[in-house]
Amino acid sequence: MTSRRIVAALAVVSLFAVPELADASPSSPQGSARSRRATPRQHPASATAPATDRPFDLDVSTTLRHFSWTETRQDGSQFVNESGMLFVIGATPKLSLGRERRIVVETGLEMYFGSVGYNGGVQA
């Protein structure tokens, strides 16, 4: 008698824990088919959907960058002003880990170079 109660309680709890089983009523052919296959829901917005389609990405990029450098005296006046364009090349390998690929591990790498105008002076 006690074991029947336990089995019945587990069956009720399982309906909440595994929602797919709740849909698997005998009157619903679709539901019974889903319960036989026991496939998880694949809605993109569901909490169990992968966060990304790809476990590994390598993003390569170029950047045209306006660079500005100013040096300021203690009295607040600027005495060096550099500005101009620099060229940047970059790569970011990115791993998406875990069952749902929600853990991201990446390393952004950038190299830049160029020449900018200098407007300043020398101390004498």
Q: Which residues contact 94 (CB under 8 A, 6 or more apart)?
A: 56, 57, 58, 59, 104, 105, 106
CB closer to other proteins out of 27 and 68: 68
**Minimum distance, C-beta of residue 11 to other proteins, in the bound complex (Å):** 31
**Minimum distance, C-beta of residue 22 to other proteins, in the bound complex (Å):** 22
**Is position 106 an interface residue for other proteins (rule: CB under 8 A)?**
yes
The Cα 64–Cα 83 span in angstroms is 13
**Is position 1 an interface residue for other proteins (rule: CB under 8 A)?**
no
At which residue do the structure tokens 């569901």 appear? Answer: 46
**Is position 55 an interface residue for other proteins (rule: CB under 8 A)?**
no
Contact 85, 64 (CB under 8 A): yes
**Is position 41 an interface residue for other proteins (rule: CB under 8 A)?**
no
At which residue do the structure tokens 């006046």 appear? Answer: 77
Size of the site for other proteins (CB under 8 A): 56
**Is position 2 an interface residue for other proteins (rule: CB under 8 A)?**
no
- Please give the angle made by the CA atoms of 118, 119 and 121, to the nearest 5 degrees: 110
Q: Which residues bind other proteins (CB under 8 A)?
A: 44-45, 47, 49, 51-52, 57-74, 79-80, 82, 84, 86, 88, 90, 96, 101-124
